[in-house]
Amino acid sequence: MPQRLHYREAGPADARNVLVLVHGFPFSSAMWRPQLDAPPAGWRVIAPDLPGFGESPPIEGDMLSMDAAADAVAGLIRDLGLESVVLGGLSMGGYVCFAFMRRHPKLVRALVLADTRPGPDSEQVRRGRLQSAAKVSGNGTGELIDGMLPKLLSPLTRKRQPEVEAEVRGIMEAATPAGVIAALHGMAARPDSTPMLRSITVPTLIVVGSDDVITPPGEAQLMSRGIPGSRIEPIVDAGHLPNLEQTADFDRLVHGFLESVAV
Ligand code: MLT
């Protein structure tokens, strides 16, 4: 039974064109603040909190699979009476997009993939995730946040925009241990989405921060080679969170793409 999700939204409620933005880990819909503050003209933007994050209730059990997350987002889209949407996801949100494309492709009219990768975890990364989950279970999320934060933002963002770092830290600190643990288990168990890339036939925009060390530009290039007709755009001086670090560039690229797929 898909989960009912809390979501934030912006733009006209009766818009024909709808963009759904899926957040990364361990964030929430709050990470899309700039995009919700300035939605593209005429578009409705919906940003769900994935199960166990923000204000959405957690999934039952201790694993949020990417499939369950995708089903929950699809349930929300159907509950809202939407026939099809442009789906966007950043990092873990991208993993959810791949699951979504496997399970609910008819609901997606176009795709935006930001700072993500189609491949599964290596054995080493998977083990690391399970160790992190055990530590979060014993000691809370502090160590995980301190370890992730320096890798999330470009050196320039850290130097020139301390407010972005503070915002990102605040969003991460709001995540509950249970939500974090379930997502760690779910990401560790996710399948390889590389083989299904060629079956993605909707218009696809791939964006990546040029300084992203978590899902580096090379991953985006591989993804772009796999998805027929996709367009790839680097965002200079951004790390893993270009929508927060270089908002104007991110929005310009996404809005331009949306114009090209509007109905
Ligand atoms: C994210 O931003 O969603 C995470 O870095 C994804 C991951 O840990 O693989």
242 touches ligand 1 (CB under 6 Å): no
**Nearest residue by C-alpha to atom 4 in ligand 1:** 25
Q: Can you give the pLDDT at residue 4?
A: 82
Centroid of ligand 1 to alpha carbon of 115 (angstroms): 9
Centroid of ligand 1 to alpha carbon of 12 (angstroms): 31
Centroid of ligand 1 to alpha carbon of 91 (angstroms): 5
Please state, as a whole number, how many other Cβ atoms lie within 10 Å of the Cβ of residue 196.
17
Q: Can you give the pLDDT at residue 1?
A: 52
- If you average pLDDT over residues 79-102, what whole number do you get? 97
- If you average pLDDT over residues 117-130, what whole number do you get? 97
| 204-234: pLDDT as tens digits | 999 999 999 999 999 999 999 999 999 999 9
Task: Return the ligand 1 atom nearest residue 129 CA.
Answer: 8
- If you average pLDDT over residues 143-170, what whole number do you get? 97
Going by pLDDT thresholds of 50, 70 and 90, the confidence category of residue 35 is very high
80 touches ligand 1 (CB under 6 Å): no
3-state secondary structure the chain: CCCCCCEEEECCCCCCEEEEEECCCCCCHHHHHHHHHCCCCCEEEEEECCCCCCCCCCCCCCCCCHHHHHHHHHHHHHHCCCCCEEEEEECHHHHHHHHHHHHCHHHEEEEEEECCCCCCCCHHHHHHHHHHHHHHHHHCCHHHHHHHHHHHCCHHHHHHCHHHHHHHHHHHHCCCHHHHHHHHHHHHCCCCCHHHHHHCCCCEEEEEECCCCCCCHHHHHHHHHHCCCCEEEEECCCCCCHHHHCHHHHHHHHHHHHHHHCC
| 181-204: pLDDT as tens digits | 999 999 999 999 999 999 999 999
Q: Which residues contact 26 (CB under 8 A, 6 or more apart)?
A: 53, 141, 144, 145, 148, 172, 175, 179, 180, 183
- If you average pLDDT over residues 122-150, what whole number do you get? 97
- If you average pLDDT over residues 229-252, what whole number do you get? 98
214 touches ligand 1 (CB under 6 Å): yes
For residue 41, which of 263, 258, 261 has the smallest C-alpha distance?
Answer: 258
Q: What is the mean pLDDT of the chain?
A: 97
Asked if residue 37 has pLDDT above 80, the reply is yes
Asked if residue 93 has pLDDT above 70, the reply is yes
| 39-49: pLDDT as tens digits | 999 999 999 99
State the pTM of this model: 0.97
Centroid of ligand 1 to alpha carbon of 13 (angstroms): 31
111 touches ligand 1 (CB under 6 Å): no
24 touches ligand 1 (CB under 6 Å): yes
Please state, as a whole number, how many other Cβ atoms lie within 10 Å of the Cβ of residue 163.
10
Q: Express as a percent the part of the chain with pLDDT over 90.
A: 97
- If you average pLDDT over residues 229-254, what whole number do you get? 98
